[in-house]
Amino acid sequence: MSLDGTREESRYRRPESVLVLVYTPQAEVLLLERRRPFAFWQSVTGSLEHGETHAAAAPRELAEETGLGGEGQLSFSGRQRVFEIDPRWRHRYPPGVTHNTEYEYRYCLAAACAVRLDASEHARYRWLPLAAARERAWSWTNREALDLLEREL
């Protein structure tokens, strides 16, 4: 417990997250445009909650950010990446934490479809050809995951 009586762990995000690539067999990829701290494009992402596994976080984040859930096939790629947390987000993590571990998931849909966004988090979405999505994705981890997806499709 902290001095103010709150659980210390609940004040900060865990330095673990999921990246969920939403795609079709025709190599179309869903990207979401974030609102804050600046506008940029990304796949579905989100931090693990305290006590949550990455296997539980992936479908939760997918549903929260897109409204999708039972329409496609969700699978863990078996990959994880460690990256340096952007200084604009470090205040969200415990003091001294500078790196995050990201677990890569894939969600395959038969065809592109409409999604339901959380307007407080994302401004809009786009279905793009895989190469265009890779060019537009902001983070290197997202681009690397899309590179690997392209090789495997």
Ordered mean pLDDT values, 10 residues apiece, the chain (153 residues): 49 96 98 91 96 98 95 97 94 96 98 94 97 97 98 94
User: Distance between CA 79 and CA 149 in Å, rounded?
Assistant: 12
pLDDT at res. 4: 39
- From 152, 136, 145, select the one nearest 21 (Cα to Cα): 145
pLDDT at res. 36: 82
- From 42, 25, 55, select the one nearest 126 (Cα to Cα): 42
Beta bridge partners of 127: 30
Q: Which residue has the tokens 């984040």?
A: 61
pTM of the model: 0.92
Taking CA 142 as the corner, what is the angle to CA 78 and CA 51, rounded to the nearest 5 degrees?
A: 55
Residues with Cβ within 8 Å of 40's Cβ and at least 6 positions away in sequence, in order, are: 33, 34, 138
Over its C-alpha atoms, the chain yields an Rg (Å, rounded) of: 16
All domains of the chain, ordered by start, with CATH? 8-84+98-152 (3.90.79.10)
